[in-house]
Chains A and B, each alone.
Chain A
Amino acid sequence: MDQILEKLPGFVEKIKEIQEVIISNIVLIGQVPAPTHYEDARIEIFLERLSDAQADYCATADFNIPTGVIRGSSDGFRPPIFVVAHLDTFMNADIDHNYIIQKNTIIGPGILDNSLSLGVLASLPVIFRHLDLKFESDIVLAGVPQSIGKGNLQGIKHLIDTWDGPIRGAVIVEGEQLGRLNYYSEGIIRGEITCNVTATDGWEHRYKPNAILILNKVIDEILSMELPQRPLSRIIIGKINGGFKHGVIAYDARLGFEIQSDSEEMVNRMHDEIKDIVNGIGHENHVSLKLHIISNRVPAKLRYRHPLVKSTVAVMETLGLQPTTDSSESELSIFLARNIPAVTLGVTEGKNVHRDNASMKIKPMFTGIAQIIGVLMAIDSGVCDE
Chain B
Amino acid sequence: MNDRWLKSNTFHHAEFKDIEQLVAAKERRQLKISLCLPTLNEEKTIAKEIIIMKSELMTRFPLLDEIVVVDSGSTDNTIDIAKSYGADVYAAKNILPRLENFTGKGENLWKALHITAGDIIIYLDADIKNIHHRFAYALLGPLLMSDHIKYTKAFYDRPITIDQQKIRATGGGRVTELIIRPLFALFFPELTQILQPLSGEYAGYRSLLEKIPFPIGYGVETSLLLDIYERWGLDVIAQVDLDRRVHRNQDTKALGRMAFVILKTFLERIESMEKIKINTPLFHEMIQYKLTDGEYEAEIHKINPSERPPIISVSEYCEKFNRYPE
Contacts and interface: CB of A to CB of B under 8 A. Distances in A.
Interface of A: 18-21, 23-24, 27-28, 31, 52, 94-96, 98-103, 356
Interface residues of B, number: 28
A27 B51 contact: yes
B55 A20 contact: yes
Contact of B55 (A24, A96, A102, A103): A24
B48 A27 contact: yes
Contacts of A100: 44-45, 48
B94 interface: no
A98 B44 CA distance: 10
B81 interface: yes
Given A28-B132, A52-B60, A20 B165 contact: no
Nearest to B80: A103
* Residue with the highest number of chain B CB atoms closer than 10 Å, among A23, A95, A356: A23
Contacts of A102: 43, 47, 77, 81
B166 interface: yes
A31 B51 CA distance: 15
16 contacts: A20-B51, A20-B85, A21-B55, A21-B60, A23-B51, A23-B55, A24-B51, A27-B52, A28-B52, A96-B166, A99-B48, A100-B45, A100-B48, A102-B77, A103-B47, A103-B84
Contact of A103 (B48, B77, B86, B130): B77
Contacts of B165: 95-96, 356
Interface string B37-56: 00000011101101110111
B129 interface: yes
Nearest to A104: B84
Contacts of B132: 28
Contacts of A24: 51-52, 55-56
B252 interface: no
Contacts of A18: 59
Interface string B109-129: 000000000000000000001
A46 B44 CA distance: 24
B170 interface: no
Given A99-B48, A103-B84, 12 more contacts: A23-B55, A27-B52, A52-B60, A94-B166, A96-B165, A98-B130, A98-B161, A98-B246, A101-B47, A101-B85, A102-B43, A103-B81
B131 to A, nearest CB: 9
Nearest to A24: B55
A182 to B, nearest CB: 31
Interface string B61-105: 000000000000000010011001110000000000000000000
A95 B164 CA distance: 9
Nearest to A26: B51
Contacts of B298: none
Interface in B132-167: 132, 161, 164-167
B167 A94 contact: yes
A24 B51 CA distance: 6
A31 B45 CA distance: 13
Nearest to B45: A100
A356 to B, nearest CB: 6
B224 to A, nearest CB: 29
A99 B47 CA distance: 10
A332 B169 CA distance: 39
Contacts of B45: 100
B229 to A, nearest CB: 35
Interface in B288-308: none
Nearest to A101: B47
B54 A20 contact: yes
Contacts of B164: 96, 356
A102 B46 CA distance: 9
Contacts of B80: 103
Closest CB pairs A-B (n = 4): A101-B47, A24-B55, A20-B55, A20-B51
A159 B75 CA distance: 51
B244 to A, nearest CB: 11
Contacts of A98: 129-130, 161, 246
Contacts of B50: 20
A134 B190 CA distance: 58
A100 B47 CA distance: 8
Interface in B231-258: 246
